[in-house]
Amino acid sequence: MSSVQAFFLGLVQGLTEFLPVSSSGHLVVVPYLFGWERLEHQVAFDVLLHVGTLVSLGLYFRREWGTLIRAWGRSWRHLLSRAAFAQQWRESAEARLVWLVLLTLLPLGLLAAPLRNWVLSLSRNVAWVASCLLVTGLLVWGGERKGKGQRTWRQITVADALLIGLAQCLGVLHGISRSGMTLAAGLWRGLDREAAPRFAFLMSVPAIAAAAVAEVPELAQTNSLGWLPCIVGFIVAAAAGYFALRVVFRFVQAGKLSYFAYYCWALGLITLLVLGLRG
């Protein structure tokens, strides 16, 4: 892999991880459209890029982590007392938010993790991925039209967390945007345009971290790709991810989420057209 290719893939991953356009879909479709051969250790490189976007999440929410983690840590002292924990749950919105973020992992672990091999097999089917991009566009467009809720992040419920967690499960399919599904689900549940993206991106932290841990054996294969391309891809993915987070918050709050739906439809249709022309 060349450093130029690593730069481009890192840029694509960083921008599309948080924009509701499917980063996994782009990592399949973009190499196909440009005629790049699939790398021998493509999965390892993809995981490395995801770790880069995890760094961007840490930087974007850097002012909040201390408050959230301290509040969550205090809630642990009350786990053995049902009454005390219930009081902490009511009084500390920060601790409750962290518990709800972790709760979103439950559907992911029960439903998505067992399907890993099937999902990886589908990722090699460019037509399937392009079709999933069309579905992403439809669901993001629907979420934008539904997004008139007024509930803040302090009013997120257990039911919200579980349903948004279910929506996140769809994001394991290449071409279905995880951020798009969680954003749309949050808006459908009546969260306001600040709470929906905030919860969607906070809940992506444990999800991305868990996926990276699961792929540690694959990460060991990155040494065969060359250290310089890996470093370039990692840094570019982190920087682009930070930029994408700022962009998507502005688009959601401005009521322009549907723009990403149009992009998904265009990319999906172009890919299917190129597939047809190449036979």
Which pLDDT does position 211 carry in this prediction?
A: 73
CA neighbor of 207 nearest in space, from 13, 25, 53, 14: 53
Question: Please, what's the b/e burial string for 123-132 (b: 16 or more CB within 10 A of its CB; e: otherwise)?
Answer: beebebbbeb
Residue 184's contacts (CB-CB under 8 Å, 6 or more residues apart) are 20, 139, 140, 142, 143, 144, 146, 167
**Number of domain units in the chain:** 1
Global confidence as pTM = 0.87
Place of tokens 């976007």: 53
Rounded Cα gap, residues 243 and 247, in angstroms: 6
State which residues form the domain around 250. Answer: 3-278
CA neighbor of 181 nearest in space, from 157, 155, 199: 199
Q: What percent of the chain has pLDDT over 70?
A: 91
For residue 86, name the pLDDT band (cuts at 50, 70, 90): confident
Q: Are 1 and 228 in contact (CB under 8 A)?
A: no
pLDDT digits (tens, 9 = 90+) for 238-252: 999 999 999 999 999
Residue 63's contacts (CB-CB under 8 Å, 6 or more residues apart) are none
**Position 77, amino acid:** R
191 beta partners? 151
Task: Tell which wins on pLDDT, 228 or 189.
Answer: 189
Checking if the pLDDT of 120 tops 90, the result is: no
Q: Are 180 and 260 in contact (CB under 8 A)?
A: yes
DSSP 8-state class, residue 1: -
CA neighbor of 32 nearest in space, from 125, 132, 135, 134: 125
For residue 191, name the pLDDT band (cuts at 50, 70, 90): very high
